[in-house]
Amino acid sequence: MKEEGLTLVLIVDRDNDIGEKAKLETPIVGADKVIEAGKALLMADPEEADGNAIFGGIKVYNELSKQERCEVAVVGGDKDSTLRADTKIRKELAKLKEMLNYKDVVLVSDGVEDEAVVPIILSYAPVRSIVRIVVKHSMNIEESYIVLGKYLKMAIFDSRYSKYFLGVPGLVLLVYAFLYMTPFSNIAGYLIALIIGLAFIVRGFNLDNAVSQMRRSPYFTVKFLSVISSLLIILIGAIKTVEVVVASPMFQQLSVARLQAIGGLAGVVIITLEPYVWVAVGLQLIVNMAIASRRSRAALLRELSLLLSLTLFYLPFYYVGFLLINPEVSAIPLVTIILGVLAIAIIVIYYIIFDYLRTKNEPS
């Protein structure tokens, strides 16, 4: 005959160690059968925490049975799938409800994973208490392992993270191994530093997402080639600038007149690098103008204004470098000041007009 309103002492084995290791079917009901199941599980694996949880459940059952009617049972899940595990546990709880008609549950758990089934239990009866059986490790350590495991799984199987967690180290090892077998083994360290540095730059400045968004544009090829061309121009300019700086007499005077020499070197950098930067940026603006001409006049006007300002800024910027190299020159040519003011005025006027037109076109 079915018991009325008893308390169920429930031991949950969510990953089904009792089925995998002890080869027992769940649910297992009754103190004697549960004790035999616990012995079988610990005989199969003496270090299994679920075995200790089973005997912890028997202890709770023995104490509770002195005060009220109760029963003890073990339910098992699935080791390969959380979804299958929870579905199986739900079916076994329904079966126990039919057999025992329990009014509430005392859950005996060996960790946070088994306690995740509490919402399933609540669909059949309230949970009076949760008894944690902590044997080999603390709950905080187990939680840390679970979180760490999730992040490791993301780093290995999620393509957004695996390309950095596995791809970059793999590429580094591959390059190092390849160079080690060639006469260029002495530069292996520099190339590895270059690869790691590029990976940091790409992720740090979100360049991979920027390229991904650019690929959606019909002008991706043109933009990509223009960006690469501009970067190459700036790189060539930087290399040329270093050569000029090292060859400059002021580089040799650093220990003699440090402040003046540093100012002079800054001027050499500006004058040498400026043409390359201006050409690179100008190339980008011209490409953007060609694309903007097919979209809107406002975008075309913006790129044209920036290109004109860039052209006008060339001489004032050059003269800054000239003054740093020749501090004895105090007079600033009037044309330089006029060009600088015009360049700033063009940008300011454009944004004033743009803001006016945007405000005018907004619905009131």
pLDDT of 251 > 70? The answer is: no
Angle at 175 between CA 173 and CA 178, to 5 degrees: 105
Class of residue 252 by CB neighbours under 10 A (exposed 0-12, middle 13-18, buried 19+): exposed
pLDDT of 73 > 90? The answer is: yes
For residue 233, being part of any structural domain is answered with yes
For residue 119, being part of any structural domain is answered with yes
Mapping DSSP onto H, E and C, the string for the chain reads CCCCCCEEEEEEECCCHHHHCCCCCCCEECHHHHHHHHHHHHHHCCCCHHHHHHHHHHHHHHHHHCCCCEEEEEEECCCCCHHHHHHHHHHHHHHHHHHHCCCEEEEEECCHHHHCCHHHHHCCCCEEEEEECCCCCCHHHHHHHHHHHHHHHHHHHCHHHHHHHHHHHHHHHHHHHHHHCCCCHHHHHHHHHHHHHHHHHHHHCCHHHHHHHHHCCCCHHHHHHHHHHHHHHHHHHHHHHHHHHHHCHHHHCCCCCHHHHHHHHHHHHHHHHHHHHHHHHHHHHHHHHHHHCCCCHHHHHHHHHHHHHHHHHHHHHHHHHHHHHCCCCCCCCHHHHHHHHHHHHHHHHHHHHHHHHHHHHCCC
Q: Considering 86, 104, 139, which residue would you say is the last residue of a domain?
A: 139
How many structural domains comprise the chain? 3
For residue 124, being part of any structural domain is answered with yes
For residue 147, being part of any structural domain is answered with no
pLDDT at 308: 83
Residues 235, 343 within the same domain: yes
Which region, left, alpha or beta, applies to residue 206 given φ > 0 means left and ψ of -120 to 50 means alpha? left
Q: What is the spatial distance between Cα 131 and Cα 352, in angstroms, rounded to a whole number?
A: 70
Q: Which two tokens stand for residue 359?
A: 């405000």
Q: What is the spatial distance between Cα 284 and Cα 103, in angstroms, rounded to a whole number?
A: 74
If pLDDT is split at 50, 70 and 90, which confidence band does 301 have?
confident
Greater pLDDT, 175 or 25:
25
Residues 347, 227 within the same domain: yes
Of residues 62, 97, 76, 99, the one with CA closest to residue 23:
76
Residues 323, 177 within the same domain: no
If pLDDT is split at 50, 70 and 90, which confidence band does 3 have?
very low
Angle at 80 between CA 76 and CA 84, to 5 degrees: 60
For residue 1, being part of any structural domain is answered with no
Give me the chain's average pLDDT, please: 76
Report pLDDT digits (tens) over 107-150. Answer: 988 766 767 888 898 889 999 988 887 655 545 555 666 667 77
Tokens 């679920």, residue? 50
Task: Give how far the C-alpha of residue 112 lies from the chain's centroid of Cα atoms, to the nearest Å.
Answer: 26
Q: Which two tokens stand for residue 185?
A: 């083994």
Residues 128, 261 within the same domain: no
Report pLDDT digits (tens) over 56-68. Answer: 889 999 999 888 8
End-to-end, the C-alpha distance of the chain in Å comes to: 78
pTM summary value: 0.41
Residues 220, 349 within the same domain: yes
The type of residue at 134 is V
Residues 178, 271 within the same domain: no
* Non-local CB neighbours of 230 within 8 Å, separated by 6+ positions: 280, 281, 283, 284
Q: How many CA atoms lie within 13 A of 294 on its CB side?
A: 6
Q: What is the spatial distance between Cα 160 and Cα 77, in angstroms, rounded to a whole number?
A: 32
For residue 63, being part of any structural domain is answered with yes
Domain of residue 192, residue span:
158-205
pLDDT at 174: 83
Residues 36, 127 within the same domain: yes
Residues 323, 286 within the same domain: yes
For residue 152, being part of any structural domain is answered with no
Residues 255, 336 within the same domain: yes
Residues 256, 316 within the same domain: yes
Question: Measuring CA to CA, how many Å separate 341 from each of 281, 312, 347?
Answer: 20, 9, 10
For residue 312, being part of any structural domain is answered with yes
Residues 229, 333 within the same domain: yes
Residues 133, 183 within the same domain: no
If pLDDT is split at 50, 70 and 90, which confidence band does 105 have?
very high
Strands 70-76 and 28-29: antiparallel
pLDDT at 1: 41
